[in-house]
């Protein structure tokens, strides 16, 4: 096989290109491929594509999920070339027309996916989807969000890695990263997603209509948000009922910092009652929003502390809106309309105000990084502003 005619190197090829492949594979010793340890450098013609080199190429192809033919073509060469990069060796960024490839990109994509920032298929190519996921990650952690992966972004990953391996996932410390982005909610964008809509009212019971209750709740949250300088984007009006996909797309297009989806529950079992909060989480290792989980815990905590709704806790789910949004998103199921006591609570404007206040404080806590559980449920927004004035 000729090493110059069509760019393919295989058994019998000879020349400097073969020596180059051999050198590159030898350099990958210690990377977990035992076959490479036996690849000879001494006592062989380095420029000769011999049986030993072919064995090493096949083992490498097997390891990388390439077609195992023992021939070094464009794909295999790119994989050998990319294998030398570890995350942090170079700055990664999207360069259309000449995509960066390598093991460092694989590691990056795996980390993004693990954290719930969908980088798509782990293919080791820094394409548009990977760049979008990097930007979403950077925004969520208060970084500049330029889409390139340099020292600052890598430090954020390292901090997270420590926090993830350091203990329970429910006490993740990545909010310290969020905290460094500033204590204030002011200047941020929150998407309010009142569930259901005109064509699809959701649960109806005890004279209450879910679509109306959650829109009213959204208005009360909006009033508090806009008062402290937060931009609010709604996923629907009183007259529309967009799909979950449309709501997620709108939140992504708005570049929101957080999505709050508001629902009430309903159940045939008359004694079902209480509040639950959901975040994106399907598999803790690969599909999990750590910030979403933290926000869900905060929301749940604040609501339970301020009301007498039963605590149905926070849970990871892969529902469309939670999965397709690129920023932390939580869905609050605030009480059961089918439960007489929950329904009578939800009918009260004062109760809805309390819910809105709880949501606001949990958002502020997310950015405050405050873990002082002693004040849960008693802290009012005024107290938080005083705290910020003293510590900001
Ligand atoms: Zn609903």
Residues 157 and 302 in one domain: no
* The pLDDT value given to residue 242: 93
CATH number, domain of 150, equals 1.10.101.10
- Residues above pLDDT 70, as percent of the chain: 84
Identify the pLDDT of residue 4. Answer: 41
In this model, does residue 345 exceed pLDDT 50?
Answer: yes
pLDDT level of residue 392 (50, 70, 90 thresholds): very low
Based on the fold, state whether residues 161 and 195 are members of the same structural domain: no
- Please give the radius of gyration of the chain, using alpha carbons only, rounded to the nearest integer: 27
How far does residue 322's CA lie from ligand 1's centre (Å)? Answer: 14
Alpha carbon separation from 230 to 91, 149, 363, 364, 384 (Å, rounded): 34, 28, 11, 11, 16
When comparing pLDDT for 83 and 368, which is higher?
83
Distance 12 CA to ligand 1 centre (A): 67
Same domain, 274 and 340: yes
CA-closest candidate to residue 319, choices 195, 203, 138: 195
> Could you tell me the distance, in angstroms and rounded to a whole number, from the CA of residue 200 to the centre of ligand 1?
10
| Mean pLDDT, rounded, for 77-96 | 87
- Length of the chain measured in residues: 392
pLDDT digit string, tens, across residues 35-62: 888 887 777 888 999 999 999 999 999 8
CA of 218 to the centre of ligand 1 (A): 14
pLDDT of residue 160: 64
Is residue 88 assigned to a domain? no
φ, ψ of residue 258 in degrees (nearest 5): -150, 145
- Model confidence at 207, in pLDDT bands (50, 70, 90)? very high
- The token pair that represents 108 in the structure block: 């990056």
Q: What confidence tens digit (pLDDT) does each residue in 122-139 have?
A: 788 899 999 998 998 888
Print the domain residue range for 56.
16-82
- 230 and 355 co-located in one domain: yes
- CATH code, domain with 44: 1.10.101
Distance 350 CA to ligand 1 centre (A): 21
Q: Which CATH number characterizes residue 194's domain?
A: 3.40.630.40
3-state SS assignment for residue 34:
helix
Residue 54 has what pLDDT? 94
Q: So what's the pLDDT on residue 182?
A: 57
The Å distance, Cα 328 to ligand 1 centre, comes to: 19
* CA of 381 relative to ligand 1 center, distance in Å: 28
pLDDT of residue 177: 41
| Whether residues 69 and 217 fall in one domain | no
Is residue 8 a part of any domain in this protein? no
Confidence of residue 159 (pLDDT cuts 50, 70, 90): low
Higher pLDDT, 254 or 7: 254
HEC string for 222-288: HHHHHHCCCEEEECCCCCCCCCHHHHHHHHHHCCCCEEEEEEEECCCCCCCCCEEEEEEEEECCCEE
Task: Indicate the pTM of the whole model.
Answer: 0.55
**Looking at the structure, do residues 248 and 300 belong to the same domain, yes or no?**
yes
253 lies in the same domain as 147 = no
List, in order, residues 6 or more apart from 120 with CB less than 8 Å away.
109, 129, 130, 133
Predicted pLDDT at 3: 41
Q: Pick from 199, 198, 172, 186: which is nearest to 295 by CA?
A: 172
Q: How confident is the model at residue 31, as a pLDDT?
A: 72
Q: Report how far ligand 1's centroid is from the alpha carbon of 234 (Å).
A: 16
pLDDT of residue 156: 79
Least confident of 53-57, 165-169, 348-352: 165-169
Q: How far is the CA of 340 from the centre of ligand 1 (A)?
A: 17
Flag whether pLDDT at 192 surpasses 70: yes
263 CA distance to ligand 1 middle (Å): 4
Residue 218 pLDDT greater than 60, yes or no: yes
Question: What is the CA(117)–ligand 1 centre distance, in A?
Answer: 25
Are 115 and 289 within 8 A, CB to CB? yes
Interval between CA 199 and ligand 1 midpoint (Å): 13
Cα dist from 333 to 194, 249, 269, 274, whole Å: 11, 22, 16, 8
Span from the CA of 345 to the centroid of ligand 1 (angstroms)? 17
324 alpha carbon – ligand 1 mean position (Å): 18
Please tell me which residue, 11 or 367, carries the higher pLDDT value.
11
Confidence of residue 386 (pLDDT cuts 50, 70, 90): low
Residues 212 and 350 occupy one common structural domain: yes
Q: How many CB atoms lie within 10 A of CB 26?
A: 15
Q: Average the pLDDT over each of 25-29, 158-162, 194-198, 205-209 and give the range with the smallest value.
A: 158-162
For residue 95, being part of any structural domain is answered with no
Count of domains observed in the chain: 3
State the distance from the centre of ligand 1 to the C-alpha of 215, rounded, in angstroms: 11
pLDDT of residue 42: 77
Tens digits of residue pLDDT in 258-278: 999 999 999 998 899 999 999
Question: 261 and 381 in one domain?
Answer: yes
Candidate from 18-27, 180-189, 289-298, 367-376 with smallest mean pLDDT: 367-376
Same domain? 224 vs 354:
yes
């Amino acid at each position: 096989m000729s090493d110059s005619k069509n760019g393919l190197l295989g058994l019998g090829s000879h020349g400097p290109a073969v020596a180059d492949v051999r050198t590159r594979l030898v350099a990958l010793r210690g990377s977990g491929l035992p076959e490479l340890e036996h690849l000879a450098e001494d006592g062989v013609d380095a420029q000769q594509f011999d049986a030993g080199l072919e064995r090493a190429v096949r083992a490498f192809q097997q390891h990388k999920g390439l077609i195992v033919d023992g021939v070094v073509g464009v794909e295999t060469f790119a994989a050998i070339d990319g294998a030398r990069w570890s995350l942090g060796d170079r700055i990664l960024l999207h360069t259309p027309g000449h995509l960066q490839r390598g093991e460092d990109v694989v590691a990056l994509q795996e980390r993004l996916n693990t954290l719930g920032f969908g980088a798509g298929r782990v293919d080791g190519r820094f394409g548009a989807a990977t760049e979008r996921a990097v930007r979403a990650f950077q925004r969520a952690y208060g970084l500049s969000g330029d889409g390139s992966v340099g020292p600052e972004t890598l430090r954020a990953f390292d901090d997270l890695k420590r926090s993830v391996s350091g203990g329970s996932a429910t006490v993740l410390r990545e909010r310290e990263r969020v905290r460094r982005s500033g204590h204030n909610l002011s200047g941020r964008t929150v998407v309010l997603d009142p569930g259901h809509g005109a064509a699809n009212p959701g649960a109806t019971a005890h004279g209450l209509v879910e679509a109306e209750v959650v829109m009213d709740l959204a208005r009360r949250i909006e009033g508090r948000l806009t008062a402290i300088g937060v931009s609010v984007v709604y996923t629907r009006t009183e007259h529309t009922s967009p799909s979950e996909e449309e709501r997620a797309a709108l939140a992504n297009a708005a570049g929101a910092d957080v999505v709050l989806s508001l629902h009430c529950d309903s159940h045939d079992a008359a004694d079902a009652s209480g509040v639950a909060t959901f975040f994106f989480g399907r598999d803790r290792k690969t599909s999990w929003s750590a910030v979403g989980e933290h926000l869900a815990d905060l929301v749940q905590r604040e609501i339970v502390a301020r009301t007498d709704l039963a605590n149905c806790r926070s849970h990871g789910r892969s529902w469309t809106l939670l999965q397709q949004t690129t920023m932390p998103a939580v869905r609050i199921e605030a009480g059961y309309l089918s439960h007489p006591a929950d329904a009578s609570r939800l009918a009260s404007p004062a109760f809805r105000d309390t819910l809105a206040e709880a949501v606001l404080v949990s958002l502020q806590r997310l950015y405050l990084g405050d873990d002082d559980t002693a004040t849960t449920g008693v802290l009012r927004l005024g107290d938080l502003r005083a705290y910020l004035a003293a510590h900001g």
